[in-house]
Amino acid sequence: MTKTHKSSKIANMQMAYGATGLLVGTIDEAEVFIDIGVKNIAFPYPIANKENIKRVMKLTEKARVILSFDGIEAAKMWNEELAKENKELEYFLLINSGLDRLGVKPEDSVILAKDLCQLKNLTLLGISTHPGHVYGVSSSEEVALIAKQEVETMRHAKELLLTAGFSIKVVATGSTPTFSHVVDSDVFDVLRPGNYPFYDNIQLSLGTCKEEDCTFTVLGTIISKPRNDIFIIDVGSKCLGLDKGAHGNSLVTGFGKVKGHSGLQIISLSEEVGKIKIDGETMLKVGDRIEIIPNHACPSANLTSYVFGYQGDEVVDIISIDARGNSMRPIISDADEQ
């Protein structure tokens, strides 16, 4: 899942390490990654307006594009457009494994599959889910329980659909915290974690990773010490984001983790500066630099155009975050083309 990095460099690395395709977060990502040669792209949610359907239709000329549906309405819109061009596309039927966002419960999957199979230009490829409610738990034991629920829900949905006579070629899921728990399960054919290239403070709090695994950090400078127990830094919400996780993580306090300085807590962020509470002694002073692990790396990466790749203290690469929203400027008049 590429919504974390939105970068063709990292997408290329994922493909080089053996990914057979990419699950994208947006059409922008799909356009950029197909341009660099990725041939297998899936969308995780229904695309349900004519403009976007047109954009994705164009992509089907260059890559295998897999859609996702959890209802009949968007699927009908697609079927109509596909019929006009005499094309067929595959799709995942979305299953709700507990997040209660997109997807149907396994018990409702057969009725939906029966409705969808009336649409002759769409072919059921399999079922998929995202157990995002894992971000709301408060211990690694609970992560394991969510992973178990993820496996059992998808096993149940697959069995019901097979019994009803549907072919389920692919069962897909994806979340970074549950990945290690489900990787050996015989249910899943495709795993689509997204956050793992970077990790972040939320993953740390869930026990998914260690501090040294967090590759995405924000480098800040201490610009003022107005009180003995306060630093001001030149990093604010426009770098770190105010995010504490999409699905309510109560384990995270503050607005990021200062690497290697457990006594420092980022207690507030303005847009361009932040405030740190100093607990105990510190050798740090105005002018010193600190490295901050964002609470949630995905929106932080989305706030920048490029990141520096470090090996030790040496900058070895500059990586563009080139698949962010609006990375393809639309052409609406001749003047725009010049």
44 lies in the site for ligand PLP, by CB under 6 A = yes
Q: How far is the CB of 203 from ligand PLP (least distance, A)?
A: 8
Q: How far is the CB of 70 from ligand PLP (least distance, A)?
A: 11
Closest of 275, 274, 324, 326 to residue 299, by C-alpha: 324
Kindly indicate which of the ranges 52-60, 137-145, 169-177, 249-257 contains the residues binding ligand PLP, using the contact rule CB under 6 A.
169-177
153 lies in the site for ligand PLP, by CB under 6 A = no
Q: How far is the CB of 38 from ligand PLP (least distance, A)?
A: 17
126 lies in the site for ligand PLP, by CB under 6 A = no
Residue window 226-265: x/- pattern of binding to ligand PLP, with contact defined by CB under 6 A? ----------------------------------------
**Among 11, 15, 79, 130, interactor with ligand PLP by CB under 6 A:** 130
193 lies in the site for ligand PLP, by CB under 6 A = yes
Distance CA 78, CA 91 (A): 11
Is-contact 265 276, C-beta < 8 A? yes
Near ligand PLP in 290-329, by CB under 6 A: none
73 to 49, 90, 259: CA distances (angstroms)? 11, 16, 48
**Among 174, 254, 274, 294, interactor with ligand PLP by CB under 6 A:** 174
Is-contact 211 259, C-beta < 8 A? yes
Side-by-side strand order, sheet with 122-128 = 22-23, 40-42, 64-69, 89-94, 122-128, 170-173, 190-191
19: left (phi over 0), alpha (psi -120 to 50) or beta: beta
Q: Which residues is 127 bridged to in the sheet?
A: 93, 171
Residues lying near ligand PLP in the complex (CB under 6 A): 1, 23, 44, 130, 132, 174-176, 192-195
